Amino acid sequence: MNPVGADHWEVVVVGGSAAGLSAALTLGRARRRTLVLDTGTPRNRFADHMHGVLGNEGVSPEDLIGRGRAECSSYGVVFDDVEVQTVREAPRTPDGGPQRLQVELTDGRHLETRALIAASGVTDLLPEVPGLAPRWGKTVAHCPYCHGLEFADGRIGVLGFSPAGLHQAELLRQWTDQLTLFSAGMGELDLEQVLRLESRGVAIEPSPVEQIRGEPDGVAEVVLANSETHEFDALFTASQMRPNDSYLDELALERNDSPFGGNYIAADATGKTSHQQVWVAGNINQAPANVSISIAAGSYAGGMCNLALTSEDFDIAQEL
């Protein structure tokens, strides 16, 4: 068995945000030697405030992570702000000890661990509309549960670039009756779709959106190909979510197509993947997960990872 020393860990957690910190908190309290590796770019870093997170309403993402880190540190969890490049199976030891994982970092260091929790989230790929990116997390959002109430009864536009545009338009009608769907990016809507949206007063604008003007925090001026300009208090659009999981490629984990688009690492309800020593938690394998769901997933994965290690501890003891 490998000694547990400076570069040998019981659990390495990749990602130190909602899911990763929650997993690390559970593991720290279970007295597992846990290392969190993190590049410090949580998905919601563009927003000043989080909503819908029980007990943390209006708290900034930065504050939640700061408090989470302090809580984990108080239980002995160690943090290293570095990017993981590759995870692979470590060569087996001559004594036939249990399989370990080797973690290669982008600064050239290598670590070994008994188990790994991947909580590295997704990257949002935004529609390429000039003026949209600077507004992301301010006056352009994707999730009405997170940011809908802040613009309730205001002028809201939905920029549709996939079938998700229809879903967003129906959902946002719950927050305002001043709603416009910009549909050019979705192709021509069929009559049934048009009648359904019109039945609740959703305006449909088929002219392509050319750019968005105005200060990122202020009124959005949507400029159309037909030269019209429409003003909105907020815009909603669906990003394409790309999981941050390429460092796991060498493990060839099983994957599933997600109904939300994309190919995500397959895992059971506890986050256990097709590899005995790898769990996932949060957005990395659950496209619709918000902060609360990611915290729950991290807690579950952390607990189940500790349970597996506990079982392995008994297996090893019996073999001695």
Residue 37 is a binding residue for ligand FAD (CB under 6 A): yes
Residue 116 is a binding residue for ligand FAD (CB under 6 A): no
- Stretches 16-24, 175-183, 201-209, 261-269: which one binds ligand FAD (CB under 6 A)? 16-24
Minimum separation from the CB atom of position 193 to ligand FAD (A): 27
In the stretch 245-284, what mask flags binding to ligand FAD with x, by CB under 6 A? --x----------------------------------xxx
Residue 289 is a binding residue for ligand FAD (CB under 6 A): yes
Residue 84 is a binding residue for ligand FAD (CB under 6 A): yes
* Residue of 150, 127, 155 lying closest to 138 (CA atoms): 150
Asked if 174 contacts 152 with a C-beta cutoff of 8 angstroms, the reply is no
40 versus 208: smaller Cβ distance to ligand FAD:
40
Secondary structure (DSSP) of 223-292: EETTS-EEEESEEEEPPEEEES-GGGGGG---EEE-TTSSEEE---TT-B-SSTTEEE-GGGT-TT--HH
Asked if 10 contacts 33 with a C-beta cutoff of 8 angstroms, the reply is yes
Minimum separation from the CB atom of position 298 to ligand FAD (A): 7
Label residue 259 exposed, middle or buried (CB < 10 Å: 0-12, 13-18, 19+): exposed
Minimum separation from the CB atom of position 286 to ligand FAD (A): 8
Q: Which of 11, 12, 13, 18 binds ligand FAD (CB under 6 A)?
A: 18
- Stretches 117-125, 172-180, 207-215, 248-256: which one binds ligand FAD (CB under 6 A)? 117-125
- Give dist(CA 91, CA 102) in Å, integer: 9
Measured at CB, which residue is nearest to ligand FAD? 282
- Stretches 18-26, 155-163, 195-203, 265-273: which one binds ligand FAD (CB under 6 A)? 18-26
- Give dist(CA 320, CA 312) in Å, integer: 13
- Give dist(CA 186, CA 130) in Å, integer: 18
Q: Dihedrals φ, ψ of 266, to 5°?
A: -80, 140
Can you name the residues that pair with 221 across neighbouring β-strands?
213, 231
Q: Which of 1, 8, 46, 255 binds ligand FAD (CB under 6 A)?
A: 46
Using CB under 6 A as the binding rule, the residues of this chain from 195 to 224 that contact ligand FAD are none
- Give dist(CA 244, CA 175) in Å, integer: 32
Instruction: Note the residues at the interface with ligand FAD (CB under 6 A).
Output: 14-20, 37-44, 46-47, 50-53, 83-84, 119-121, 124, 136-137, 146, 244, 247, 282-284, 289-292, 294
